[in-house]
Amino acid sequence: MLSAKMQQAFNEQINAEFWSAYLYLSMSLDAANKGYKGISNWFAIQFKEEQAHAQIFINYVLSRGGKVELAAIDGVPTEWESPLAMFRATLEHEKKVTSLIHNLCSIAAEEHDFASSNKLVWFVDEQIEEEENAQDIISSLEQVDDSKLGLYMVDKELAARTYAVPSPLAGKEE
């Protein structure tokens, strides 16, 4: 059984994961509106990944006999001035998510909830990847320095991204 404090913290994280999903869907739509099909694809996959993160937490809370209570999802920005601005906002957001995950780890440690500590290891690793991915794309966009040809090339590259079900959900959906 999860402690009340741990359950509350996981519920807040579930909401944060859905907010992330909503943010990335908004970026995907903004990119599509501006003709960046590849960037739109990249963020559409990010949207799916964030929903999967929420599902992993939901499954975990249920597996521990806890209760999931879905709260309202706050609004998100709807427009960014450039692809670079979008990926810089992504990196900033992922840094915040990393601190949320680390805070969950601290609560699990305080509560002596070793099962939750173990479950969170995957998310700690995932955040390294999330920040690295955003940083790599920022670096590419900085190199092309807003040139139309450069943006075209980066957009083409991001069109190739495909969705993979995160390993904690493998075999549980799709």
Identify which of residues 20 and 40 has a Cβ nearer to Mg ion in the complex. 20
Residues 33-52, interacting with Mg ion (CB under 5 A): 50
Among all chains, which residue has been given the structure tokens 């990119």? 31
Whole-angstrom distance, CA of residue 26 vs CA of residue 88: 15
Residue number with the smallest Cβ distance to Mg ion: 53
* Beta carbons of 157 and 149 less than 8 angstroms apart: no
Identify which of residues 24 and 80 has a Cβ nearer to Mg ion in the complex. 24
Query: Could you say which of 48, 53, 88, 119 contacts Mg ion (CB under 5 A)?
Result: 53
Backbone angles phi, psi at 81, to 5 degrees: -75, -20
Residue 119 is a binding residue for Mg ion (CB under 5 A): no
User: CB of residue 136 vs Mg ion: minimum separation in angstroms?
Assistant: 18
Identify which of residues 53 and 119 has a Cβ nearer to Mg ion in the complex. 53
* Beta carbons of 1 and 60 less than 8 angstroms apart: no
* Beta carbons of 158 and 141 less than 8 angstroms apart: no
* Residue numbers at the binding site for Mg ion (CB under 5 A): 50, 53
